[in-house]
Structure 1
Amino acid sequence: MGHDTERVSVLGLGAMGGAIARAWLAAGYETTVWNRTAGRAEPLVAEGAKAAATAAEAVAASGLVVVCLLDDASVGEALADADLAGKDLVNITTGTPGDARDRARWASGRGARYLDGGIMAVPPMIGVPGSGAYVFYSGSPDLFADRQDALGVPSAARYVGADAGSAALHDVALLSAMTGMFAGMAHAFALTRGAASPKQFAPLLVEWLTAMAGAAHGTAAHLESGDYTLGVTSNLAMMVQGNRTLLRTAEEQGVSSELLTPFMALMERRLADGHGDEDTTGVVDLLLP
């Protein structure tokens, strides 16, 4: 029987929860698992995990309890009858910052220390050294300090503050940026559809987006300083003028511009307000109250 620091219970054995439980098993942790559909535990039991009949039983088995379920409501339902007093509850279920803060208060009221997590990986990256996988964690600093080694087994662990909602906020902010990138990629492939091989175009797209991603540092510097004209090379006036070519090209190619026009409209608003010598940083201000 291992020490409590070498014991973990994982509730929720979907693709991500199963991968995380498997990583702890491979690292020699005494791992108890539970899933609403019990059959999902069988492959892990075959690898050495212990299956709990109920979520409450899984919670009782370990000091460190990791929850990876469908949504916040599922977390509340699964843990409704569990005794959380003295437990370290780590919730890596996808949710909003508000969900995380509410769940942290709920956990504290039941005697548990709480961390919320935002997973920046897909299941095949979990437990693979060098994959780049990591999880944002926020909430109890003492819990993170005490359990950092264990949390670092499935992936790297990055603590982003005592506000329990911070991990979810970081997670959603990065996913939102990714969504915008996917929108641009979709438009680019639509423009070149039938005119260039997608396989030949893709490396050009990756190369260009990788080069442009560094612009985030310039935006950060502008937001920190409050001077949105600092080091600008392509100013807003130039870019709004250039947008006309993008829109005319889409029209010529018979491609809808609906993925581009919302951002372009914000650029035009900022320009109309007299900020032509800035870059696009000022759009951030237009999105805030």
Structure 2
Amino acid sequence: MNSDSMHEKSAPPAPLTLLGAGAMGTALARAWLSAGHPVTVWNRTPARAEALAADGATVARSAAEAVAANRLVIACLLDDASVGDALGDSELAGRDLVNLTTGTPAQGRARAAWAQERGARFLGGGIMAVPPMIGVPESGGYVFYSGSADLFEEHRDTLAVPAGTRYVGADAGFAALHDVALLSAMEGMFAGVSHAFALIGGEKDIDPRDFAPLLVDWLTAMAPAAHQVAERLRSGDYTRGVVSNLAMQVAGGATLVRTAEEQGVSTELITPFHDLMRRRLADGHGEEDTTGVIDLLRSR
């Protein structure tokens, strides 16, 4: 091996354009700038973009000017309509558009078709992080990506600078679908947490700070049940390995409802799930676990 090969330098950080300088966009821009990437930024409210100039960003006067500056264009805007508005006058042919704007799977697929009609490759994204987690590898934040596999592979290193990357398929709507599915599960967990704290809230001798570790430990212990649900969905056998079957859970649910009533707590967060379990039980599935509720949710 000659000395030139031994001292071969890696490629310099790739330039990119960022549309959107809100809280998330600003965090993304600063992560790329800190890693040495030349960043051209545009924001509908110019002052927000200009604040990044001190960090080394080039501020474009228009979205079209920002798009023209670089091949890799990343959008992190308010909503899908904002993406269309911002890029309406831009020349996208030959550009690689990565859309990190929160949206639905259908919007992701439609935006991919829209970009492809204009000669651009497209990658949808779903950010599983809040701004303080961006640029902090140990935070565990990451971004789902779906769409053009070639685009993802070409820009993988650049995309990995602010947060981890997880490519979830060629369907441009899959990033949003994974994003929303996880957020929906989170909301369900928060609903349970809210109900639990409401139950103890009227007891002056129970400090919520003492209760919180118990709640976290319990939820952590229960979370791996998702793997069992996945296996049952895959096999189609909802009875394999069931410990607490649906009949038992429906019977026990009456105690949960009665306790809430005794504590003066509304049951509106827990009764919808109980209603679904009772429906599944009435259909003759008492030996299953709660996996069959998913079939009820998907039957329209």
- In structure 2, what residue type is equivalent to 1:93? T
Q: TM-score, normalized by length of structure 2?
A: 0.94
Deviation at 1:194, TM superposition (A): 3.0
Alpha-carbon separation, structure 1, partners of 2:147 and 2:164? 17
Match of 1:102 in 2: 110
User: What is the correspondence of 1:29-178 to structure 2 with a 5 Å cutoff?
Assistant: 29-178=37-186
Q: For 1:37 and 1:168, how far apart are their aligned partners in 2?
A: 26
**Letter of the structure 1 residue corresponding to residue 96 of structure 2:** D
> Residue 247 of structure 1 corresponds to which residue in structure 2?
257
- Deviation (angstroms), 1:42: 2.4
After TM superposition, give the deviation of residue 4 of structure 1 in Å. 8.8
Aligned residue identity for 1:17: G
Deviation digits for residues 91-111 of structure 1 (CA, Å, limit 9, x no counterpart): 000000000000000000101
1:18 aligns with 26
Q: Which amino acid aligns with 2:221?
A: A
Mapped pair 1:264 → 2:287? no
2: CA distance, partners of 1:203 / 1:107? 48
**Structure 2 Cα separation of the partners of residues 180 and 274 of structure 1:** 26
Give the Å deviation of 1:203.
1.0
Q: Is the 8 A contact 1:266 1:286 kept in 2?
A: yes
The answer to whether the 8 A contact 1:5-1:63 is kept is: no
**Per-residue displacement from partner, 1:178-209 (whole Å, max 9, x unpaired)?**
11111111100100003221111111111111
1:265 partner letter = D
Kept after mapping to 2: 8 A contact 1:118/1:168:
yes
Contact 1:10 1:33 in 2 (8 A): yes
- Which among 281, 284, 287 is matched to residue 277 of structure 1? 287
Q: Identity of paired residues, percent? A: 69
Structure 2 contact 246–288 (Cα < 8 Å) conserved: yes
* C-alpha distance in structure 2 between counterparts of 1:72 and 1:4, whole Å: 32
Aligned twin of 1:213 = 223
- Structure 2 contact 73–95 (Cα < 8 Å) conserved: yes
Please list every run of 5 or more consecutive structure 1 residues that lacks an aligned counterpart in the other structure: none
Alignment partner of 1:6: what SS?
Answer: coil
Q: Which runs of 5+ in 2 are unaligned?
A: 1-10
Q: CA RMSD in A?
A: 1.2
Counterpart residue identity of residue 263, structure 1: F
Asked whether the equivalents of residues 99 and 124 of structure 2 are also in contact (C-alpha less than 8 Å), the reply is yes
- Which residue type is aligned with residue 269 of structure 1? R
Moved over 3 A (4+): none
